[in-house]
Amino acid sequence: MRYSVRLMRMEDASQVTDIDREAFPSLWPSASFENELKHNPTTRYLVAREEGVEWPQPQMSTPAVEGGGAAPGSAWRRLYSGVRRLFSPGAPPARGTEHIVGFAGLWFAVDEAHLTTIAVLRRHRRQGIGELLLISAIELAAETGARFVSLEVRASNVEAQALYRKYGLFKTGVRRGYYTDNREDALIMTTDSIASDSYQSQFQQLKRAHAARWGYGTPWG
Q: State the pLDDT at residue 78.
A: 47
pLDDT at residue 201 above 80? yes
> How many C-beta neighbours within 10 Å does residue 150 have?
20
User: Is 164 designated active site?
Assistant: yes
State the CATH number of the domain containing residue 122: 3.40.630.30
Is residue 151 one of the residues assigned to a domain? yes
The number of beta carbons lying within 10 Å of the beta carbon of residue 160 is 17
Q: Is 197 helix (H, G, I), strand (E, B) or coil?
A: helix
Q: Are 105 and 119 a contacting pair, CB within 8 Å?
A: no
User: Which of 152, 167, 199, 216 is the catalytic position?
Assistant: 152
Who has greater pLDDT, 56 or 199? 199
Average pLDDT over residues 76-86: 43
pLDDT tens per residue across span 1-37: 889 999 999 999 999 999 999 998 876 566 689 888 8
Q: Which of 164, 167, 199, 216 is catalytic?
A: 164
* Residue 18 belongs to a domain: yes
pLDDT at residue number 188: 98
Side chain identity, residue 211: A
- Decide: 193 and 199 in contact? Cβ < 8 Å: yes
Backbone angles phi, psi at 122, to 5 degrees: -55, -45
Structural domain containing residue 209 = 3-214
Reported confidence tier of residue 96, pLDDT bands at 50, 70, 90: low
pLDDT at 123: 95
Residue 190 within a domain: yes
Nearest to 112, CA basis, from 80, 151, 166: 151
Q: Are 83 and 140 in contact (CB under 8 A)?
A: yes
- Is-catalytic flag, 50? no
> Distance from first CA to last CA of the chain, Å, rounded?
18
pLDDT tens digits, 54-72: 655 444 333 333 333 333 3
By DSSP bridging, strand 112-120 and strand 148-154 are parallel
What pLDDT is attached to residue 163?
Answer: 97
The rounded mean pLDDT for the chain is 83
Q: How confident is the model at residue 72, as a pLDDT?
A: 39
- The answer to whether position 221 is within a domain reads no
User: In this prediction, what percent of the chain has a pLDDT beyond 90?
Assistant: 64
pLDDT of residue 56: 52
The pLDDT assigned to 62 comes to: 35
pLDDT of 88 higher than 50: no
Residue 220, in any domain of the structure: no
Quick check: is 219 in a domain?
no
Query: Count of domains in the chain?
Result: 1
Report yes or no on 30 lying in a domain.
yes
